[in-house]
Amino acid sequence: MPTRVVVVVGVLATIGLARAPVSASPAPPLVVLSGPGDAAATTRARQALTSASRRRGSAVIDLTSKKPAPAQARLILSRAIDAYVNLQYDKAIKQLTSAIAEANRTGARGLTTTGVSDLFMYRGLAYTQQGNASKAWEDFVHAASIAPTRTLDPVRFPPRAVETFARAVKATSAKAPATLTLAVQAGCAAWLNGRRVTAGHALQVVRGGHFVRVNCPGRVPFGAKVNIQQASHTLTPKLLSQQAPTRQQVTALAKARGARTVLFASVGVSAKTPATLLLRLLRVDTGAELDRVFAPLVGSDVSARVRAAVDRLIDRVVTPTVVAKPITIRVDKPVPWYRRGWFWGITSAVITAAVLTPLLLDRGNTTQSDFDLKPGGALPW
């Protein structure tokens, strides 16, 4: 009986071990990416970070700044020219006015110098056809100040337009030239009237309205129309920094999604230093920084560096869990009583006695027995 009790306890223990729940590993952190959306380094960081994070089971939220909307001025100009050719002067003027308004906001993004000049040239032509000579003259002068060396093809333009534009060029050229200097840091790209220029150098221009556009790493693109009337003009664009989410905003975002930790990755772009990805592991409940890693975003091994950084930080909160296999206790089936050793021992003794008894009785026919087997007789021992 004690043996059976031990076997039952062993079976119950085995069943309990097999059904015992295994403690779940902590969830991987939420990954949040921030950076300038128009930078090539952000694209490299996004690709490498997404691949490395998904490999470890982390979801990625992209908070990079959006790229500027595609410029529409060039498309609008094309439609306006078609409207002018089809004698739809009101429609052409309306479309050109819309394109000029966009050029004022963006610094004529998406347009060449000829394209910027055409905005005013065709509007002046449309005004001419409508008999509005004063507005037409203003636009011709503006077009000439942007492209003072331009001449109109008499095959494409009516003679009156060619003559009027020639007078506008002569009037603008009679003014003393001016210089424009764009005071921006090195590494910034600059355009003047749709033409790429070198920032920081004095640029000779015709006095009048001009379109300036500046792009600096990590800054919001600058675009504006500048009216130059003095002999020397220095423009210092107000370059706003890209608005990155704060630590509090990132942890609040992760908390709303039920995460306990968040991996905050931010792209740093500068004109003086190589682009870098900063990864910070934060606790959601307190906002405390658990660890940080820098990963340069230059070279051919960007993906490997980002993957190593992500693995290091995720391993801080998610450790591989080794689940031990349950111990199986082998319990043999009970042996039937007729197959046990004691049964066969008794059976063998009975069979042996059955065989020997007749032999002992047969011996009494030849010789005198040493004792009497009569009923009631006493045994000799």
Summarize pLDDT for 187-217 with one digit per residue, the tens.
889 999 999 998 888 899 998 899 999 988 7
Q: What is the architecture, at CATH level 2, of domain 73-235?
A: Alpha Horseshoe (1.25)
Query: Distance between CA 32 and CA 58 in Å, rounded?
Result: 10
- Asked if 153 and 182 touch (Cβ cutoff 8 Å), the reply is no
State the pLDDT at residue 200. Answer: 81
Question: Residue 322 pLDDT more than 90?
Answer: no
Question: Residue 76 pLDDT more than 90?
Answer: yes
State the pLDDT at residue 11. Answer: 41
pTM of the model: 0.61
Query: Distance between CA 277 and CA 204 in Å, rounded?
Result: 41
How does residue 31 score in pLDDT terms, banded at 50, 70 and 90? very high
Question: Residue 16 pLDDT more than 90?
Answer: no
Strands 276-283 and 60-62 come out as unpaired
Question: Residue 230 pLDDT more than 50?
Answer: yes
Count of residues for the chain? Answer: 381
Question: Residue 337 pLDDT more than 90?
Answer: no
Q: Is the dihedral of CA 330, 335, 339, 341 positive or negative?
A: positive
CATH of the domain spanning 30-65+242-317? 3.40.50.10070
Query: Distance between CA 116 and CA 322 in Å, rounded?
Result: 67
Question: Residue 18 pLDDT more than 50?
Answer: no
Query: Distance between CA 78 and CA 97 in Å, rounded?
Result: 13
Question: Residue 114 pLDDT more than 50?
Answer: yes
Domain extents for the chain? 30-65+242-317, 73-235
* 30-65+242-317 and 73-235, same CATH topology: no
Q: Percent of the chain scored above 90 by pLDDT?
A: 39
Residue 51: both structure tokens together: 């691949």
